[in-house]
Amino acid sequence: MPRATSLQSTQLFYPLDWEKSPFFYTEEHAFKLRGTPAIGAYVTDNVFAHSALFTTVVPQPAGASPQVIPGALAQNESGLHASNNLVGVNAMNELSSCDFDGDGFPDTFLATGQTWWYSSGGDKPWVYLNTSKKRRVEVTLGFFDGDNRCDVLADGIIYPGGTSRNSLGIRPRLAVVS
Ligand SMILES: [Ca+2]
């Protein structure tokens, strides 16, 4: 999971696309654009734990310094285009467990608000599962398709192994309601 990115954009002569990434660290900006890119920097479909996209300055009573709350994004010139990003979401507070790699031990499941991931045993690097805006409270984890890998049920669709296709090439399908 990326922590923060600072980019000197004047060296770029192609559009920069930053998309579908979760940022859980709020002590500084997740993305800072320095200079003006020749074409543009496009920040789309990301998820930020920050409370707002851009820095907020909150006035305080007389004599006190304003409170500065870092935003997810910053730029010192122009060219930053942000769309369809989520703010105020820290999916690290919404983790749960199920065995996604079939080794018999529970793994940690993460739904960032844009993508699903698992960490084998809860202590290995995050492995991408699927692109979905469904968050933890909107899905059910369980063993629905008969193999030993945990599946994700969302809106009546079973995502085998939490992916859009399992190891046997089986695509997501409607759950059978009995
Ligand atoms: Ca496992």
Two tokens, residue 137 = 């409270």
Count, in order, helices (H) and strands (E) of the chain. 0, 19
- CB count within 10 Å of CB 147 equals 15
pLDDT of residue 170: 56
Q: What percent of the chain has pLDDT over 70?
A: 84
Q: Is 153 exposed, middle or buried (0-12, 13-18, 19+ CB in 10 A)?
A: middle
CA of 104 to the centre of ligand 1 (A): 6
Residue 124 in this model has a pLDDT that exceeds 70? yes
Q: Predicted confidence band at 12 (pLDDT cuts at 50, 70, 90)? A: low
Query: Comparing C-alpha atoms, which of 97, 92, 118 is closest to residue 22?
Result: 92
Q: Ligand 1 center to residue 16 CA distance, Å?
A: 36
> Which CA distances in Å does 24 have to 46, 120, 166, 168, 177?
11, 20, 29, 34, 36
Mean pLDDT of 148-167: 88
Q: How far is the CA of 124 from the centre of ligand 1 (A)?
A: 10
Q: How confident is the model at residue 101 (pLDDT cuts 50, 70, 90)?
A: very high
Give CA 118 to chain center in angstroms: 12
CA of 138 to the centre of ligand 1 (A): 22
Output the CA 82–ligand 1 centroid distance in Å.
36
Q: Is 93 helix (H, G, I), strand (E, B) or coil?
A: helix
And the tokens for 116?
A: 């699903």
CA of 148 to the centre of ligand 1 (A): 10
CA 97 to mean position of chain CA atoms = 18
What is the per-residue pLDDT for 24?
87
| C-alpha of residue 77 to centroid of ligand 1, in Å | 46
